[in-house]
Amino acid sequence: MLCLSPRVTPPPGNHLLNALPPEDLASFRPRLERVDLSFRQTLQMAEEPITSIHFPENGYLSRLAIMDNGDAAEIGLIGAEGMTGIAVLLGDDRDSFEIIVQVPGPALSIGLPAFRTALEQIPSLRRLLLRYALAHFEQVARTGACNGRHPIDQRLARWLLMAHDRAGGDAFPMTHEFLSMMLGVRRAGVTVAAGLLQKAGHIRYERGRIEITNRTGLEACACECYGAARRAQDRLLHSLPPAKLAHCH
């Protein structure tokens, strides 16, 4: 008689979900659907009802503040350490910001009614996600302070390190135009700052693509805001994989 081994479900690629107690992850996992997120896909529109929550497994998302004239500035990055839909977690059904996909990849998705039910049925899920919400708001607050105080080259180095943490590789798609929107500065300023980092050997920039070639050097160029945000994340989400930044304590 042929004996078949039981099918083993691989762990989710989202580190936040992997931090759940095994029995609670087993309860929550069947409610999730794996989806493939595409480049520049909009997952959440400002001031519109949130219909689903996404937990990225690879790649990363940008949380954007959209101005009345159409300009946008990034206020936060979301990768495999996080989730969309923080407003729902905090009791609302929408927020003021847009979320788009910057680097595509798989994610685990759940509809709004099922997510709310899970929050009621799995207390550890709510506790963990609330800690992530605090870590994300620490990142947002640090980004605001950084953008108001530090030179463009330091801000660019900080942003590239944050993207590198979440991209799943050393190279990822990016244009100067999009970087200028992410940092809220003119494209010419980004061009100069990227040129300095490339001349120093820390990055390689080709049309529509950036590669991190010397992470240690890039860390040295960044302001203290990157290390501060990562320390806050590691403190609040201590069961997640440790930060790539090893020397910021």
Domain-embedded: residue 18 = yes
Number of domains in the chain: 2
Domain-embedded: residue 177 = yes
* Residue 76 DSSP SS3: strand
Pair 103, 164 in one domain = no
Pair 22, 118 in one domain = yes
Grade residue 239 by pLDDT with cuts at 50, 70 and 90.
low
Pair 91, 41 in one domain = yes
200 near 193, Cβ under 8 Å? no
Pair 101, 198 in one domain = no
> Which residue type sits at 68?
D
Pair 208, 135 in one domain = yes
Pair 180, 231 in one domain = yes
User: How far is residue 204's CA from residue 197's CA, in Å, rounded to a whole number?
Assistant: 8
Q: Which of 104, 122, 140 is the last residue of a domain?
A: 122
Domain-embedded: residue 73 = yes
Domain-embedded: residue 5 = no
pLDDT surpasses 50 at 132: yes
Domain-embedded: residue 31 = yes
CATH of the domain at 118: 2.60.120.10
Pair 97, 190 in one domain = no
Pair 115, 156 in one domain = no
Pair 20, 78 in one domain = yes
Grade residue 99 by pLDDT with cuts at 50, 70 and 90.
very high
User: How far is residue 181's CA from residue 39's CA, in Å, rounded to a whole number?
Assistant: 16
Range of the domain at 38: 13-122
Reported in sequence order, the residue ranges of the chain that DSSP labels E, i.e. its strands, are 33-37, 42-44, 52-56, 60-66, 72-78, 98-103, 105-111, 171-173, 203-206, 209-212
Cα–Cα separations (whole angstroms), residue 159 to 11, 35, 164, 225:
29, 26, 9, 10
Cα–Cα separations (whole angstroms), residue 59 to 38, 92, 211, 229:
10, 26, 15, 19
Element (H, E) at 164: helix 152-167
Q: Which of 89, 105, 122 is the last residue of a domain?
A: 122
User: How far is residue 91's CA from residue 94's CA, in Å, rounded to a whole number?
Assistant: 9
pLDDT surpasses 70 at 106: yes
CATH of the domain at 158: 1.10.10.10
Lowest mean pLDDT among 82-96, 104-118, 145-159, 176-190: 176-190
Pair 216, 115 in one domain = no
Pair 165, 90 in one domain = no
Mean pLDDT value across the chain: 88
102 near 137, Cβ under 8 Å? no
108 near 43, Cβ under 8 Å? no
SS (H, E, C) 144-162: HHHHHHCCHHHHHHHHHHH
Domain-embedded: residue 149 = yes
Pair 143, 225 in one domain = yes
Digit-coded pLDDT (tens) for 206-225: 888 999 999 999 999 999 99
Q: Tell me, what's the pLDDT at 174?
A: 87
Lowest mean pLDDT among 10-19, 104-113, 196-205: 10-19
pLDDT surpasses 90 at 170: yes
Element (H, E) at 5: none
Q: Tell me, what's the pLDDT at 232?
A: 87
Grade residue 168 by pLDDT with cuts at 50, 70 and 90.
confident
Digit-coded pLDDT (tens) for 34-49: 999 999 999 999 999 9
Q: Tell me, what's the pLDDT at 31?
A: 97
Q: Which of 68, 93, 122 is the last residue of a domain?
A: 122
